[in-house]
Every structure is written in C-alpha cells, then in structure tokens.
Structure 1
C-alpha cells in the first residue's frame, strides 16, 4: 500500500464522535453533564432558531403551563378589548352598571367563546360582534388542538432519569486498576437491554499542531439485559488501554474528557431511550472505590438508596 493510501486508510479508521479534531479549547467541555452538546449555532434562520415544537416538547413542565396560561389570558384580553371597542352594547346580557363590569363581562364572554363553552347569559348582537366571536371560536379550536398535541408529545416522549456519580474513579480492580463510574435509574419504570459506550478524548500534538483525538474504551461489561439497581461501568487499565500510564497531571494537560453514550428500551413506552454524560479530567478521583447502594430491610425486598450513587471511600491502587 502506498504512503498516500495508507494515510487515507488511517484517516478512515480514525475514531471520531462527530466533534472533529479542531476543538482544542481547554476551557470548554465537548459534552455537558446534562447530555447536551456544547455547541451553539450561529447564522441560523429565524425559523430554524425558533424550532418551536422542539422547544415546547423539551422545556420544563412549569414553563410550559405558564406559557399556555399567559397565551390564554393574552388572547382573552385582546378579544375583550376588541369587543369593548366595538361596543359592549352589542353583547346582549352585559352588566352595563359600570365600565369595570362591562369590560370583565366582555373578558369572560371571550373566555366562553374561546373555549366554545357558551353558557348563554351573554350573546353577540350585530354583524361585527358576531364576526369577532366566530373568529375567536376558530382561534380557540386551533389553540386547544395545538396544546393537546403538545401535551400528547410531552407525555409520549421517553424521558429517562439516569443519575450518574458526581465523579469517575480510578479504583483497584482485580490485580490491576480501572476507571469506574456509577449510574442508576432514578425512576421506578423498567429499563431493559441497556448498552453503554465510553470514549476517551484528549488533545495530542500531531505535526506540531494540537489535535483532538478519540479512543474507544473497552468495558468489563457493555450491556445488561435488566437495570433494576445500580450499574458500575468498569474500564480495566490494562497495557492495551489508552489510559495506561496516564497520570492526573497528564490527563489535565491534555484536556481529557470521558464521554458516555447509553441506549436502551423503556418498557413503559416500548421505545428506545438515549442518555449522554461526560467527565472531565478534574472530575476523576484517584485511589477510591464506590460504597454499596443496596440495603436490606429484613424483608424479602432490596432497598436502593439513590442518594448514595456518588459515595466512595479511599482505596489503595495496585502498582
């Protein structure tokens, strides 16, 4: 094989998670701890930036309901003002004793029209008021159809809650050492066929230039059929490991990052789930071992203490 063909072949076989080799800023991590990619796009079109469906699906529930409530109130205020400008005398049944009562009667008539409830105490009279109320009914039907679709999308979307240990450990393992981190399913739903992959990324000098490189790390166990308790992921530090002979100083100097990708099946939705996480070099603890999370209460059941997912104790490394 010629030298050029060998270079091409080596490049084809080069590990890369999709971040490329040029991301070498030592202050920034590639993968946020919440699993989001640490990349911000610039030059997007407004439509691409807005991405309204995705925003409403992934935003917290409190913000979602707050926005729905604010939009509902805003629409009612807009239509109430419209009825008021047309003239509340065109709304039969409005309390005409004061301006205050007139406006709020128009507001609540708007709410009844928007939701198509129509109690019947107040009704439109004349072309203008009838036209506005018919438009409002159409807006209400569309609004609640959209909100219903968003609610279904939020409830039907698998949203795994996997807790990770705050730190990854370099711990004694058999007669050698190993890189370890621990995770647990926070919820009571059943996760099955769980698979995990671990990639080690660091900056190396290539041809005098800093280049980010990626190394897949072999695991003691990369797949489990059931995930009822905690799972400690173990990468043995054998002579074949890219981490062999690495030190805390060398990992920090090379801006090391350990990126985790997990996939499995949530039997509640019978759908695939995906979780991501990462550890930086400074989040590694050298010479420690995780303490047990499972307790027994004297009955025929095991107790899993989720608060202990990151607990560890000092341990002497094997040298």
Structure 2
C-alpha cells in the first residue's frame, strides 16, 4: 500500500481529522483570549525572537540597523543645529561638533559610518563638543548590544535541534499485528542522515475524551504509551529503519482495542522520538501522531530492501510505508457481530 493511497484513506468520508499534533510534529493548538499576551511575550523576548518566522526575523534584522542609524543621525543633526553648525555664515574660529555635517543626510551618513566602523575620513567628531562625544559612545554601546542580540537569535534559530528532527521519518500508518506471540501496535522510524542519533527512546501519549468517576468530562485525557524495540528496553542503534512495538496487554491504555471498535474509537496517539545528536551532543525531539483512520488491523510492514554497493549498505525507502497482510489468520477474520453471537448462544440453549 503506497503513501498516496494512505493519504486517500485518511481523507475519506470528507472532513479533516482534528489533531493535537500534526503529522509533521507541529503543535496544532491555538490559544485565544489571554489577557496581557503581548506583555508575556515581551518578558521572554529571547524566546519570542528565536521562535519568530524567518520573514519577521529578517524584517527585525533590517529594521534594527535602519532605525538606529536614522535615530542617532537625527540626534547628531539636532546637536549640530544647537551648536549653530548649520549656519552658512560661521565665524572663522567656530569649531563644529561633527565636521562636514551640514544636512540631515550628512548626519545620517556619519551615524552609519560610526556604527559600522567604516569611518572616519571626511566626517569626524571634534573635541569641542562633549555631548556629541557622549552620544557617540552611547550609540556604539547600545547598537553593539542590539547587534549581538539579533545575530545570536539568528544563530540560535539556525542551530536549533528542531531542524535535525525534521530528518527523522515516521511511517504514515500505525499497524496492529502480532509480534513474538503478542498483539502489538507497530510504527516504523528512520534516520535520514548519515550522522547518527544515539540514546534513542520512543514514547507515546494517548489523547482521548474521558469521564471521571465524579462525572467530570475531560476532553483530552492523557495516558502514557510505552514503545520498545523488538521487546527490548535498551536504546536501539538507529542506523537503519527500525520498527518499534507497543504491546497491547492489560497495562496498555489501548488494551480493549479491537478490529471492530477501532472504526468508532476517538483517540489520537502522539509518538515522540527523543535522541542525542552525535555531531553536537544536543538533544533533539521529533514527533508525529496517528488517529484511528491511520491504524490498520492485521497488517505488518513489508521488509525493506537492503542491499550493498561498494561495501556500503543501501536501503530502498520506496518501500518504507509499504504494508502487507499479516500471516496470522486469526487477525484477518472479520469481527463477529455481538447480536449474532447472542443468537447462536440462544439457539444452543
């Protein structure tokens, strides 16, 4: 079954399935009507700037320079105006605060040259005006801090582990089949880069509506779903695509899942891979989610074609999302209607 067919099956019956987490791992929750949201964002300005979209970040970067150049250019122009430097008929012994600045454009160019350290030549500051010297010092200190902040935000956004997490691939479908005699939920995970991910751990969260014993309705109740690799709790070596298993035993929140009620259940399984990048030793997290329409009962993943070429293993990802019927015939049988079972018991009696 190809990925295109998988997406068609997911979108059947019209409508879009609501999710807590999208298939590409993004948070799919919108927050509205919070008083003081702007103030809260400004309190943590670093995170706000790092999380900005690139178009806003580039706008901030450009506007930071243009604003500071123009602002201090106006200050130098006002200083020149107060010192009577703009008067054409100046006394022969008059010393301007900033030499060769007679217009706002000249003051702007002096501010730009000072901040970008490409001066001084034609325009330069004199020793006769302490206020202009203090303004210049204040400009260099303030704009230096602003440049460090904006540049650091750029580097932080580029170096975020989130970008590394985008090269982790999850299977489009979650399968229910038997593995080593136990009924399991299976997902396939692959690392798409040559650099390794170490200390990999796959975990899950099951979101579903629930009602407590006191009658409280919880729209998104959470239960932990543990995944293992080949029934082994040790960290796997994610150098080739691997299949992770969750055993549907009595401890599982999906213990009562059957082929029949799978069609009417309302839940979302969020799967998260936590790993450490070998190149930087930073922790990255990648996630996806599965809704009931993306579960297949009685299917298993087709084995990937792994060959060799010039002494290297080669994995064919054309078969990454391909599935096949399980070899267990009991899983392939259609679930029997409870009404028919009762009628059979009644006829026996």
**Fold shared, TM-score > 0.5 on shorter chain:** yes
| In the alignment, structure 1 residue 92 sits paired with structure 2 residue 99 | yes
Matching residue of 1:233: 244
Tell me which of 264, 283, 287 is aligned to 2:275: 264
TM, length-normalised to structure 2:
0.65
Note the 1:270-309 alignment, pairs <5 A: 270-292=281-303, 295-296=306-307, 298-304=309-315, 309=320
Matching residue of 1:182: 188
Matching residue of 2:68: 75
Tell me which of 23, 27, 45 is aligned to 1:36: 27
* Post-superposition offset of 1:58: 3.6
Q: Secondary structure at the match of 2:311?
A: coil
| In the alignment, structure 1 residue 133 sits paired with structure 2 residue 126 | no
* Post-superposition offset of 1:155: 5.8
| Number of corresponding residues | 286
Q: Secondary structure at the match of 1:134?
A: helix
Note the 1:1-319 alignment, pairs <5 A: 28-33=18-23, 34-36=25-27, 38=29, 40=31, 42-44=34-36, 46-50=38-42, 51-60=44-53, 63-85=56-78, 86-87=80-81, 89=86, 91-93=98-100, 103=105, 105-125=106-126, 127=129, 129-151=132-154, 153-154=156-157, 157-159=160-162, 160-161=164-165, 162-171=168-177, 173=179, 177-207=183-213, 210-211=217-218, 212=221, 214-217=223-226, 219=228, 220-237=231-248, 241-244=252-255, 246-247=257-258, 250-251=261-262, 253-292=264-303, 295-296=306-307, 298-304=309-315, 309=320, 311-316=321-326, 318=328, 319=330
Indicate the structure (1 or 2) with the bigger Cα radius of gyration: 2
Q: Gaps (5+ residues) in structure 1?
A: 1-26
TM, length-normalised to structure 1:
0.70
2 CA distance for matches of 1:302 and 1:198?
30
2 CA distance for matches of 1:213 and 1:146?
39
Q: Is the 8 A contact 2:73 2:111 kept in 1?
A: yes
What's the C-alpha RMSD, in Å, of the aligned pairs? 3.7
Q: Is the 8 A contact 2:197 2:278 kept in 1?
A: yes
* Post-superposition offset of 1:194: 0.9
* Post-superposition offset of 1:228: 1.6
